[in-house]
Amino acid sequence: VRAQGDTYQVVADVSQFEPPDIVVTTSNCHVAIQAEKVAEDGTVCDTFTHKCQLPEDMDPLSVRCALTEAGTLVITARRR
C-alpha cells in the first residue's frame, strides 16, 4: 500500500488474466484480489491471490479499481 497525497494505492500485475477472471472484494479495511485462468477443458491453469490491509484512516466508500491496458490493476482509496 502506497500513500500518494490524499489517497492510498495498491498496484498488482494481473496481465496474464482476462478482466472477467479478476475479482476484487473489500471488507472492513481489507482488499482481496483473486484471479483464476481456466483452460478449455475446465481445469484451473493459473491463479493469483493478494490480500492487503488498508490504513484505518481511509474512506471505505471511496475504494475504486481500474485495469490498465497493460494488465495492471490499480486500487485507490481516499484518506479521510
Domain extents in the chain: 1-77
pLDDT 10s digits, 42-67: 899 999 999 999 888 888 889 999 99
Evaluate whether 52 touches 30 at the Cβ level (below 8 Å). Answer: yes
Give the domain 1-77 fold. Immunoglobulin-like (2.60.40)
Evaluate whether 9 touches 79 at the Cβ level (below 8 Å). Answer: no
Q: Can you say whether residue 42 is alpha, beta or left, with left for phi > 0 and alpha for psi between -120 and 50 degrees? A: left
Q: Determine the average pLDDT of the residues in 62-78.
A: 95
pLDDT 10s digits, 1-37: 888 889 999 999 999 999 999 999 998 889 999 999 9
